[in-house]
Structure 1
Amino acid sequence: MVSTQLESLGVTFVVFTLLAYSFALPISAGVLFAGQMGTMAVAAYVCALGLLAGWPAWLAFAAGVLAALVLAALLVRPALRLGELSMAIVTLGVSQVVLTIASNLDITNRSIGLRNIPVTANLIGALALLAIWLGALLIARRRGLLYLARLVREDARVAQSCGIDAHRVRIAALLAGALASGLAGALYASYLTYVSPAAFGFQTLLQIIAFALVGGILNPYGSLLGTALLWVIPQYVPVLGDWRFVTYGAVVIVMTLFRPTGLLGERRPRIRAATQKSVRRSDEAAA
């Protein structure tokens, strides 16, 4: 039998890993999406309300994930018309709007949140969900979909010249990130017995950004490694636990300076190197 503490650690690890992917996937295609807390909150509240209403666990879970995707679908086209910084500010603002609404509605029990939610998830189910997610990413990499996203991120004009619809790739990357945050939110509500706006604050967003950047946004295993290093290890090192957010900031600064592509990233992106090599060959041929 798995102890309650270990099960809680494992399920929470899966939640944070999925959230890290929800940041890594959009930014791997050059989309600076910062609305993860909004989509996660929508999924968690819808799933929790469904469970409290007596819905089957699978239906409440699916409804939560679908609600997150609907919110992202409403945001995706207007958000992509903006620059990266403007997109981050707007999507972050949407998250704050969602949390403010949740803090003022009777159906969500205002800022107190929903309590006594039936527990329908467990560690085995959470790990199975993570395994399916990783399997889908590996299939996407094998089919070249992650490569397309990376090419769009490196140089959208080169991607367009190769016949790649950069706009569609970015939409798909943003929706994939919303799917990951929706899965995290529904799993969160299915395992914990309460959901409140305080769980979806700005600090959580900073955490998942750190997890994704440290592991490497261009590698399918990057967010998994980053979450394991920056979230699991501090659970067993009390000193780091007290200075967790200081540690996160310091690690992100060091990684940005010395390993900007993350621990599992390449020192020099191959696409950029290949593009530069192709340009040099063209210049030499012209000369």
Structure 2
Amino acid sequence: MATPATVTRFAPSPNGLLHLGHAYSAIVAHDRAMRDGGTFLLRIEDIDGARSRPELADDFRRDLEWLGLEWEDVPAQSTRLESYEKAAETLLNEGLLFPCTCTRSEIEAMDPRIGPDGFVYPGSCKGQLLDPAKPAALRLDMEKALDRAGEIIWEDELAGVMIADPREFGDVVMVRKDAPASYHLAATLDDAADGVTIVTRGGDLFHASHIHRILQQLLDLPVPTWLHHPILLDEGGKKLAKSRNSPSLTDRREAGEDGQLLAEQLRLQNFPAGISLEKA
């Protein structure tokens, strides 16, 4: 049987300009695909309500071209809402989702434990029936999901084989009150639809892959390999972030900086140990 062609993706959200951390993530995904003569995709994750600024997608493309990367566009998330609705309906009909009307402040007031994403929902709405008149998120009943999925594994090219166990996240949101899908559900469905074979992203999302692997099992989706690369830090040792106004690629590009030279510097200084992007 022929080995599937390598397909990777870079999937930024248009709620702010790209910075060096995004550049590095895009380069890792691009070069990992190019090593195998594969395909590098650009997907715009634009379902974050009022925070999404559609005009930024073209800035992202100009930035990637400036870095010397080649890619193929795939449909943005805003065109895929029906697929998210169908998946949520499937999980709901199977008794794996339940409505939750709790606000973040209400959950915090319950003195919950802390997980990888912050406060872990304590399950106070379990057993509640869906009321169309009340805004509610839909949460995955994690214990039921794990019982249904059984023991499953996933593989990261750096960390090796992992047993999927997302219990530390608790009953995670699959459909938000203010959006048609959570990151977990949308990204998992999109990667399957786009034929992604290696999910490349920052190590800060490593634990989220336990959730995504469970969803693949529950929804009978293909299973990729993962490559979680180190994240870039600023001079203070903090993750580069749009919210902290990290210098943008657009500003660097418009100031006349050499984007391809910058890309080469990122490749030389920060590439994940143990992974070679040179063609075999």
TM bucket normalised to smaller: under 0.3
Structure 1-normalised TM-score? 0.27
Structure 2-normalised TM-score? 0.27
Q: Which has the higher contact order (CA 8 A, sep 6+)?
A: 1
Q: Which has the higher strand share?
A: 2
